[in-house]
Amino acid sequence: MKTILLVEDTKVLLMIIKKKLTSRGYHVITALNGNEALLKLQAHPNIQMVLSDWIMPECDGIELCQQLKSPHYARYIFFVLLSARDDQDSIIEGINAGADDFIAKDTNIDELDARLQAGFRTLALNNELVKKNAELDSAYATIKQDLAAAGEFIKRLLPNDPHFARAELNYVSIPSAQIGGDMLGCMQLDENNVGIYLFDVAGHGVSSALMSFSVQQSISVSADSSSLVRQKTDKAPYYKITSPCQVIQQLNELYLSQEGSDLYFTMVYAILNTQTGMLSYAFAGHPPLVWMQNSKDKAVFVEQDSYVVGVFDFAEYTTRTIELAAGDKIWLYSDGITEAEKDSHQFSEARLKELIFDIREQPTSIQANTVINEVRSWQGKEQFDDDVSVLVFEWKGYPEGDEQCNTSSLKKTNTQYFK
């Protein structure tokens, strides 16, 4: 049964209207003024339809309407203003006060019933919307909680030990949302070689993060199984390290075969021989490395024209090699850094290279954070519009007591590449 709160200060008229409404099947609760109506609404939380007289003592219909339509009132009320005046100015005044409908007291019961039925239909739609919004809020809260858990899980995939034999690593990875498509890492391929990578999946959010996780798992390495970066063999030392270009080539073949996905990613994958300082690398459409040359006191780009991963079946990739000197540092980063904007201007690769040179005397252990803070300061805001990742590693030099030797021969003897 539909319940109406009828507010009328004239008792005789109150009883007449109540009788008419009851005859049409409504459950009618009455109040003699606005203050009493507020108490009745508090006592009956199910009431959402109020039919109120205009002129009443203590709290009239306009004042009551304004209180019930206040954003601070916890319940949605359909308010019908009942008045002996039906002139245009009165109607405008009532509607401006927040009334949903305006009915003259001499309106016949059929019209009054029709108006009330329309009001209840509006209430039903509103209540359904409130219910759906509550369900959406609950679903959003669950999704938010799940994303937060996923974000924490992805953080655990990032390197947790910045120190390797004769090498030191520092990085920062910040998703633009709770989870993102950037991933970086390093892995001990064998006693002398460390794999370092950074890739950037196109887009943001869940789909990019899932692909990022998939790629990271594809290139992870363990001692008892083969992976894209190290293959098991039957002869000692029972493995071969995959060259950087072949790692990316295999990733391209793998992700081209995944139907229904339009995602792709850029990547740089490198292998550092910590004994010799030889760095082998391959690009897949990724921004250039920055090589901070300690002995020459200059920063230079290391770049390579190449295709992104997961788009072109004809793409081929190339491994190249550079020789680091003691104290040299290599910087990997995603384009969220260089494409950070201020006044329609991007931070740019050139500005990043200058910044890396300017902070060259800082310890490696803090340099990635310094870069992030400088870019934030430059753009004038804390939040980045894109996922941001930056990784720097330093080669410390030859083992103490060893002399520099012919690294061109060591490149073949100390690193076994799987072609």
Q: What is the pLDDT of residues 90-143, one digit of tens each?
A: 777 777 888 899 888 888 999 999 999 999 999 999 999 999 999 999 988 887
Does 145 reside within a domain?
A: no
User: How far apart are alpha carbons 299 and 395 in whole angstroms?
Assistant: 15
pLDDT digits (tens, 9 = 90+) for 192-232: 999 999 999 987 778 888 888 889 888 887 655 568 998 88
Question: 362-365 — which CB contacts under 8 Å span 24+ positions?
Answer: 364/168, 364/169, 364/170, 364/329, 364/392, 364/393, 364/394, 365/162, 365/168, 365/170
Q: Percentages helix, strand, coil for the chain, rounded to the nearest 5? A: 35, 25, 35
Same domain, 205 and 289: yes
Same domain, 81 and 203: no
The residue segments making up the domain with residue 95 are 3-131
Same domain, 71 and 174: no
Same domain, 164 and 85: no
Which CATH number covers residue 9? 3.40.50.2300
Does 143 reside within a domain?
A: no
Q: What confidence score (pLDDT) does residue 178 get?
A: 65
Structural domains of the chain, count: 2
**pTM across the whole model:** 0.69
Same domain, 125 and 272: no
pLDDT digits (tens, 9 = 90+) for 270-292: 999 999 999 999 999 999 999 99
Q: Which pair of tokens denotes residue 157?
A: 């995939």
Same domain, 82 and 186: no
Same domain, 163 and 102: no
Q: What confidence score (pLDDT) does residue 54 get?
A: 87
User: How far apart are alpha carbons 304 and 119 in whole angstroms?
Assistant: 69
Which CATH number covers residue 330? 3.60.40.10
Domain-terminating residue out of 87, 113, 131: 131
Same domain, 382 and 289: yes
User: How far apart are alpha carbons 198 and 290 in whole angstroms?
Assistant: 13
- Give the three-state DSSP class for 238: coil
Same domain, 247 and 385: yes
pLDDT digits (tens, 9 = 90+) for 14-61: 999 999 999 999 999 999 999 999 999 999 999 999 999 988 888 988
Does 356 reside within a domain?
A: yes
Does 136 reside within a domain?
A: no
Sequence-separated (6 or more) residues with CB below 8 Å from residue 94? 54, 61, 62, 65, 81, 83, 102
Q: What's the mean pLDDT when you consider all of the chain?
A: 87
Does the structure show a pLDDT above 50 at 418?
Answer: no
Same domain, 265 and 364: yes
Same domain, 81 and 163: no
Does 376 reside within a domain?
A: yes
Same domain, 195 and 80: no
